[in-house]
Amino acid sequence: MVINSARHSYSAPGTPADNAVIEHWWANFKAIWIAHLPKAQTLVELEQQVKEGITYFTEKFISAKRNDLTAAKYRFGKAN
């Protein structure tokens, strides 16, 4: 991570509430999506799993916290 100047968190150290929305999304992505897939053997496989996961959590995953809507429908509904 250091070589690529990557950060392991979107929040300031010790303050995960700084960006609770993305932290919650990332936790769900890892716990619900990545943890239940076979380990990717290549970078191409990993990229495909991530793309499919983003699509799933944006367009298919329904949450009671969003009034039983997908993230895309919830955001679109909030915008109107």
32 assigned to some structural domain: no
Q: How many residues does the chain have?
A: 80
1 assigned to some structural domain: no
Counting the structural domains of the chain, the total is 1
This prediction's pTM: 0.62
Place of tokens 């191409």: 44
DSSP for 34-72 reads GGGSPPPSSHHHHHHHHHHHHHIIIII--BGGGTSB-HH
75 assigned to some structural domain: yes
Q: How confident is the model at residue 80 (pLDDT cuts 50, 70, 90)?
A: very low
pLDDT in tens, 38-75: 999 999 999 999 999 999 888 888 888 778 888 788 87
Q: Please give the pLDDT value at position 53.
A: 92
Is the separation of the CB atoms in 62 and 68 below 8 Å?
A: yes
What is the span of the domain harbouring residue 53? Answer: 40-80
